[in-house]
Chains A and B, each alone.
Chain A
Amino acid sequence: MGDHGPAKGFGRWLFTTNHKDIGSMYLWFSFAMFLMGGVFALVIRAELFQPGLQLVEPEFFNQMTTMHGLVMVFGAVMPAFVGLANWMIPMMVGAPDMALPRMNNWSFWILPFAFTLLASTLLMEGGGPNFGWTFYAPLSTTYAPPSVTYFIFAVHIMGASSIMGSINIIATILNMRAPGMTLMKMPLFVWTWLITAYLLIAVMPVLAGCVTMMLMDIHFGTSFFSAAGGGDPVLFQHVFWFFGHPEVYIMILPAFGIVSAIIPTFARKPLFGYASMVYATASIAFLSFIVWAHHMFTVGMPIAGELFFMYATMLIAVPTGVKVFNWVSTMFRGSMTFETPMLFAIAFVILFTIGGFSGLMLSIAPADFQYHDTYFVVAHFHYVLVPGAVFSIFAAVYYWLPKWCGNMYDERLGKAHFWLSFVGLNLTFFPMHFVGLAGMPRRIPDYALQFADFNQIASMGAFLFGFSQVFFLFIVIKTIRGGEKATDAVWDNPEGLEWTVASPAPYHTFTTPPPVK
């Protein structure tokens, strides 16, 4: 063994234990899900292009909203980050592979099955899940279509996949570092993933518990979420958001790691405040466990709870601010160039911060009485998720693609992709702030006339943004198939072990640990 190349044929992918193969599969899978979730979003945007019901019935619209949220969160963003972790973490810490390679493959292969099952619910009698990605009971229990049972089990196995993936990542980071790679020498991407994996292991089981309670209420007559039996529908929300809030940080912490790798490279200056970055990440993770009820300001919690969750939520601005300031200081007095990864990283810093600001506004409980469940919330979370999580993934792909496949992408095309995305995304999501403030509720297939203009703009932006992503697919395929050969370092003096191996990275790297200074 050792220096084997990849196996031949289809079996390579089915049976592989190689972290790079598995990473690639995760990334391709996630992109496919991104397109699928994106098509659902385009159905939503097409229906909302003007007032009135034109294309789809409300029932189907709700299914689109639900599936869009679920597929984007669990199918697109999370697997993309796991894919990046698979590819990069062993190379970054100088390990021969992930700690538990066979289980790694299992974590991946569960996903296509889980999502096939989830997507197939759309074709079932009574339709697919139509209760929002937050699936509040009792709409998702007593009033749900029969396909909800399949949905519940799909969530169960997705959770199993995430937990196994995270255990693997933690074991790799804690146990597989090359001698000399102390914790405080690890690249930030590794750090952020270590903490993310911890979050995942802590909250995915809670989600499993949550859907299990639903299953019991639906099929076995329990009364977790039914007041008539002594339960409470709000209990659902507490359990869900105990998972759900850390979940949103799960979708952003690895992004912080990526941006912290890219900005120093193109500013040609070491990352400012490495240690405080680590502490900030840990603080965000800690705080994320005690803020969940900010999604529930309007459920009528007692005022003490309301105040506690408001203060705790506001506090998150502090460690997040530290990160933003550190990135800005890294750029400050650097020597900057603006290749595609850097463009995406800079857009990340700006637009994520804007999304963070609207998050802070939402955290003010009295004001949230006006914002809650409007498009202002939709604008908030798309600003942190699309130019946040998704842009960071684009940045990562442009940044590491030459290392993966040995070829440089076409810089002109990359920049074009960036600008198209940038314009499209702002056209789509910025106007949502306005309609939200003006009073448009979310999850509605039709709206009052005063919201028409901004919705029209948003819909046009969505199509522009969507089709730019097909262009991205083209760029990636073109790069894999050929192009200018990349050097081993790829960029000007980047930091990290991954740049010390050849481009493309050999099938097996660091079968013996590298020396770490």
Chain B
Amino acid sequence: MRLIGKQLASKLLWVLGQVLLLPTLLMTSVQAFGASDAVVDEAQRWGLNMTEGVTAVSHEIYDLHMLIFWICVWIGVVVFGIMFYSMIMHRKSSGAVPAKFHESTAVELAWTLIPALILVMMAIPATSSLIKIYDSSEAEINIKIVGYQWKWQYEYLGEDVSFFSNLTTPQDEIYGLAPKGEHYLLEVDEPLVIPVNKKVRFLITANDVLHAWWVPALAVKRDAIPGFVNDAWTIVDEPGIYRGQCAELCGKAHGFMPIVVHAMEEADYANWLAGKKEEAEELKAAMSQTFTMDELYARGEKVYQANCVACHGANGGGGLGPSLVGTGITTGPINAHINVMVNGVAGNAVMPVFGNQLNNIDLASVITFKRNAWGNNMGDQLQPVDILTFKKNQ
């Protein structure tokens, strides 16, 4: 038995030596070709590999990925090499006579221990990366991210700035009625804006079902879990626009809730933030204003397109949600209508509760819009104060 073990081991070593030469040759030739820009461009267009990203963590993950990848390739080359060697050399048709050996403690021990050692080698860098990723302390900016079916809300904690981010790709592009734009499905109305070179902490949660906030270039992926808070962080090195997608099945429009992160120089970020705050102030002021029917209608149509179209259809004809044309609530008493919009539909989790997703102006205008669009012609209208009163009286 021991003899066979030795024989086998030396044979294995020999074959190993042979096959190890092969990929070295291969790699050098690939590198020789790889130098040509055309090949690189082509590979990039097809998107072959994980992005290296723009943060220290994303680089680390990329390196880890490549390390494990090459280890697997080499193990594969050795194992498959030996296998193909025997498939070529030890076939019956070329007169091979089967050997008799069928076990060897030495060899079996070796191929238990060596892979275990390789695994330890992998585990060390993986552990250190993980510890780094989990350390979200000392962040300078805290942003709460809330996943909704099917949009993201960003709230800059302590800054009084909060907004929703919706897909802007038109339905026509999706249904092939218009040519698809460059950032098809990866474009939003309001991107998340963060400064470069600052530690930004994300507090991620969800409002309805699970979502996952993922931007490959930042190597941040965290599930958004209703009722619980997950944290993640990033420090972006380069200004730019980075795109990602929701990465946890969240229902019908799971494929249609992109994420866009706009990383800016610090000064630009400060400007942007100031602008946002101003906007918020203006909005507050507008809450007590009175709008004309046309203003309400036009604004309401926009709100509808951004928030309702996915379920109630482009012309209110219904889909996942019921038709809003000429039916009960939309053409019924206006208070019931406000109630549905502010509190949702009792016992139905699909129709969202918009009371704190939309501001009072938007609520007033979308209700006004619905009551007068698509031939509903109710003729009545609401002002933001009406919503306020309604909410107060609850």
The residues of A with any CB-CB pair to B shorter than 8 Å are 51-54, 58-59, 62, 130-132, 136, 138-139, 142-143, 226-228, 232-234, 267-276, 298-300, 303, 306-307, 310-311, 314-315, 317-318, 321-322, 324-326, 328-338, 346, 349-350, 353-354, 357, 360-361, 364-367, 369-370, 372-374, 434-435, 437-439, 441, 443-451, 453-454
Q: Are B228 and A232 in contact (CB under 8 A)?
A: yes
Q: Are B209 and A139 in contact (CB under 8 A)?
A: yes
B48 at interface, CB cutoff 8 A:
yes
Q: A364-B64, A441-B246 in contact; A328/B210 too (CB < 8 A)?
A: no
Q: A300-B225, A369-B220, A454-B46 in contact; A310/B99 too (CB < 8 A)?
A: no
B69 at interface, CB cutoff 8 A:
yes
B326 at interface, CB cutoff 8 A:
no
Q: Are A275 and B208 in contact (CB under 8 A)?
A: no
B184 at interface, CB cutoff 8 A:
yes
Question: Which residues of chain B have C-beta atoms less than 8 A from A334's C-beta?
Answer: 86, 90, 96, 98-99
Q: Are A234 and B349 in contact (CB under 8 A)?
A: no
Q: Are A370 and B208 in contact (CB under 8 A)?
A: no
Question: Which residues of chain A have C-beta atoms less than 8 A from B65's C-beta?
Answer: 361, 364, 367, 370
Binds A, one of B31-39, B122-130, B293-301, B363-371: B122-130
Q: Are B61 and A367 in contact (CB under 8 A)?
A: yes
Q: Are B72 and A446 in contact (CB under 8 A)?
A: no
Q: Are A298 and B212 in contact (CB under 8 A)?
A: yes
Q: Give chain A nearest CB distance to B257 CB in angstroms.
A: 10
| Distance A441 CA – B215 CA, assembled complex (angstroms) | 11
Q: Give chain A nearest CB distance to B169 CB in angstroms.
A: 10
| Distance A353 CA – B123 CA, assembled complex (angstroms) | 20
Q: Are A303 and B228 in contact (CB under 8 A)?
A: no
Using CB atoms, name the residue of chain A closest to B248. A373
Q: Are A269 and B102 in contact (CB under 8 A)?
A: yes
Q: Give chain A nearest CB distance to B127 CB in angstroms.
A: 6
Q: A51-B180, A300-B204 are in contact. List 10 more A-B contacts (CB 8 A).
A: A53-B174, A54-B176, A298-B223, A318-B119, A328-B83, A367-B65, A438-B51, A449-B180, A450-B46, A454-B46
Q: A364-B126, A372-B247 in contact; A337/B91 too (CB < 8 A)?
A: yes
Main SS at interface, chain B: mixed
| Distance A334 CA – B251 CA, assembled complex (angstroms) | 54
Q: Are B111 and A325 in contact (CB under 8 A)?
A: yes
Binds A, one of B74-82, B189-197, B272-280, B381-389: B74-82
Q: Give chain A nearest CB distance to B25 CB in angstroms.
A: 21
| Distance A62 CA – B186 CA, assembled complex (angstroms) | 20
B292 at interface, CB cutoff 8 A:
no
Question: Which residues of chain A have C-beta atoms less than 8 A from B119's C-beta?
Answer: 314-315, 317-318
Q: Are B91 and A336 in contact (CB under 8 A)?
A: yes
Q: Give chain A nearest CB distance to B287 CB in angstroms.
A: 30
B222 at interface, CB cutoff 8 A:
yes
B108 at interface, CB cutoff 8 A:
yes
Chain A to chain B contacts (Cβ below 8 Å), 7 pairs: A52-B180, A233-B228, A318-B116, A322-B112, A335-B97, A336-B96, A438-B48
Q: Are A357 and B61 in contact (CB under 8 A)?
A: no
Q: A139-B250, A353-B76 in contact; A367/B68 too (CB < 8 A)?
A: yes
Q: Are B103 and A273 in contact (CB under 8 A)?
A: yes
Q: A136-B249, A142-B349, A361-B65 in contact; A303/B130 too (CB < 8 A)?
A: yes
B356 at interface, CB cutoff 8 A:
no
Question: Which residues of chain B have C-beta atoms less than 8 A from A303's C-beta?
Answer: 130-131, 134
Q: A300-B225, A314-B122 in contact; A373/B212 too (CB < 8 A)?
A: yes
Q: Are A138 and B208 in contact (CB under 8 A)?
A: yes
| Distance A236 CA – B96 CA, assembled complex (angstroms) | 56
Q: Are B112 and A139 in contact (CB under 8 A)?
A: no
Question: Which residues of chain A have C-beta atoms less than 8 A from B214's C-beta?
Answer: 373, 441
- Mark B78-121 against chain A: 1 for CB-CB distance below 8 A, else 0: 01101100110011110011111111100110011001100100
